A and B are shown apart, each in its own frame.
Chain A
Amino acid sequence: EVQLVESGGGLVQPGGSQRLSCAASGFTFSNYWMHWVRQAPGKGLVWVSRINSDGSRTNYADSAKGRFTISRDNAKNTMYLQMSSLRAEDTAVYYCAREGIAAEFDFWGQGILVTVSS
């Protein structure tokens, strides 16, 4: 059974940093592109970033460029999102998602809340 479990969320002060993790199981992690998607309270889904299967290629939404870094450790079956210079508008539930055969997000984690507030 495919499972994606996010961790590392919580309360962080404006300007601070936070690292999210996404632990994968039930599939060959190193074969798949992975993504981060976020959802601010009461708002819609927003794509944040993606990383290819071996970690050599990454892409970011404009809102994340220069502040967020996506990475992965295929030996640990884990993906990361290092977030810095956090702002109140980064407050959201962050989901990790696996990319399927046609650029769809076929499996999602349960999400983890990051709150940026003083």
Chain B
Amino acid sequence: QSALTQPPSASGSPGQSVTISCTGTSSDVGGYNYVSWYQQHPGKAPKLMIYEVSKRPSGVPDRFSGSKSGNTASLTVSGLQAEDEADYYCNSYAGVNNVFGTGTKVTVL
């Protein structure tokens, strides 16, 4: 049950794009198309941004997109806005459990 690996930080200027990776194994990310992404602002509960690798829930801007290749999933935020500054976590279904990523702090410069 090791955490999925994410870079600790990522940054970009307003309007730019940032991509966050999430690396697991064939037992989690690589084995299922059940990868989701969450945004968390300080002191707040996480918010679902992407599910089933690349699907966006209603109300999530299309600036947020997800993909997966092998054991690595990715979240891309295009057209960065100030309100996108937050922590982002990936999650994968892994059969008998779920596993989160280590988290990435996105800074809008």
Which residues of A line the B interface, CB within 8 A?
35, 37, 44-47, 50, 59-62, 95, 100-111
* Distance (whole angstroms) from the CB of B64 to the closest CB of chain A: 14
Residue from the set A47, A95, A100, A111 with the largest chain B CB neighbour count within 10 Å:
A47
A60 vs B1: C-alpha distance when bound (angstroms): 11
Query: Between A and B, how many residue pairs show CB distances below 8 Å?
Result: 70
Which 9 pairs show the lowest CB-CB distances between chains A and B?
A104-B51, A103-B93, A104-B36, A102-B52, A103-B34, A44-B103, A108-B45, A47-B98, A45-B100
Residue from A46, A104, A107, A111 in contact with B34 in the complex, judged by beta carbons closer than 8 Å: A104
Residue from B32, B47, B51, B99 in contact with A47 in the complex, judged by beta carbons closer than 8 Å: B99
A35 vs B100: C-alpha distance when bound (angstroms): 13
Q: Are A104 and B103 in contact (CB under 8 A)?
A: no
CB 8 Å contact bits of B68-91 with A (1 = contact, 0 = none): 000000000000000000010101
A101 vs B34: C-alpha distance when bound (angstroms): 10
Residue from the set A44, A101, A104, A111 with the largest chain B CB neighbour count within 10 Å:
A104
A110 vs B1: C-alpha distance when bound (angstroms): 25
Residues in chain B near residue A109, CB distance under 8 A:
45
* Distance (whole angstroms) from the CB of A84 to the closest CB of chain B: 20
Residues in chain A near residue B89, CB distance under 8 A:
44-45
* Distance (whole angstroms) from the CB of B107 to the closest CB of chain A: 17
A105 and B1 in contact, given A45-B103, A47-B91 (Cβ under 8 angstroms): no
Q: Are A104 and B48 in contact (CB under 8 A)?
A: yes
Q: Is the CB of B14 closer than 8 A to any CB of chain A?
A: no
Q: Are B100 and A95 in contact (CB under 8 A)?
A: no
